[in-house]
Amino acid sequence: MKTVKKVLLFLRDVIELYIPMVSFCLLFLAFVLQVVSRYVFNHPFTWTNDVIVLGFCWSVILGACYTMRKKGHVQFTMLYDIYKPKVAALLRLLGNVIIIATFICLVIPSVKFSIFQNFQKTAVLRISLTWVFLPFAYFLCSVIGYSIEPCVEDVKVLMGIIPDAQEHKIDADMKAAANAGEETK
């Protein structure tokens, strides 16, 4: 069981971190090559455009999953921070339920649409556009997955098993520390 979990976690890293990192590097190098080929060799490459666009789509969408894991998406926390622990838990739970429900509805249409795009290819490398659109379906599943964990935590807070959600506690502590002038790091 432990090995399976390890393999799955590694796979998650591959999809959400290593592939976006490699995609970004490829996009970056393709851009540099594009400029060099045009102005140094006077012979512009055409395939670089395909690599750039594909690299961009993959690094952005799969990177957004990593951002979700690291809780790096922009959030409006002013109100959440001032709620009492149980109110905060209830409201965050409601938010996550909305996300999970709507994203579940989006998964199948997104997969179908991505597969449908198979008839279209990129201009030079002739890569199927399914590969451009399909990561979005993974992104939806990933967001659903990352939204479940806080739901469980919030249910525990509401049932009185734990006093406060970790994120709410940290936010409240940081706010107090900032106001008191303590080291917040």
Partner 1 sequence: MSLGLVVTLVVFVLIFILKMPIAIGMLSASACYLLITGADLSLVVNQVMNTFYTNYVIIAVPLFIFTANVMNSGKVTEMVFKFCNGVCKNLQGALGQVNILGSLIFSGMTGSAIADAAGLGKIEIQAMKDQGYDDGFSCAVTAASATIGPIFPPSIPLVIYAMLSSTSVGALFMGGMIPAILLTIALMIYVGIVSKKRRYPKGEPISRHDFKVFVINAIPALLTPVVLLVGIYTGIMTPTEAGAVAGLYALLISIFAYHAMGWKELIEVIKQTIKDIGATSIMIGASTVISYIVAREGLASSLGAWILSITTSKYQFLLLVNLVILLLGMFIDTSTIQLVFVPIMIPVARALGIDMIHFGLVVTFNMMVGLSTPPFGMLLFITSGISGTPLKKIMKEIMWPIVVMLIVLVLITYIPEIVLFLPKAAGLI
The residue ranges that bind partner 1 (CB under 8 A) are 17, 20-21, 24-25, 27-28, 31-32, 34-35, 39, 52-53, 56-57, 59-61, 63-68, 70, 72-80, 88, 91-92, 94-96, 98-99, 102-103, 105-106, 109-110, 112-114, 129, 132-133, 136-137, 139, 143, 178-185
User: Which CB, 47 or 56, lies closer to partner 1?
Assistant: 56
H or E stretch including 99?
Answer: helix 85-116
Closest of 143, 167, 128, 104 to residue 16, by C-alpha: 143
How far does CA 102 lie from the centroid of its chain? 16
> Are 162 and 152 a contacting pair, CB within 8 Å?
no
Q: For residues 76 and 84, what is the distance between their CA atoms, to the nearest angstrom?
A: 17
Nearest approach, Cβ of 126 to partner 1 (angstroms)? 15
CB of 98 to partner 1, least distance (A): 5
CA distance 61 to 54: 11
Q: Which is nearer to partner 1, 13 or 163 (CB)?
A: 13
Instruction: Return the number of the residue (3 or 146) whose C-beta is nearest partner 1.
Output: 146
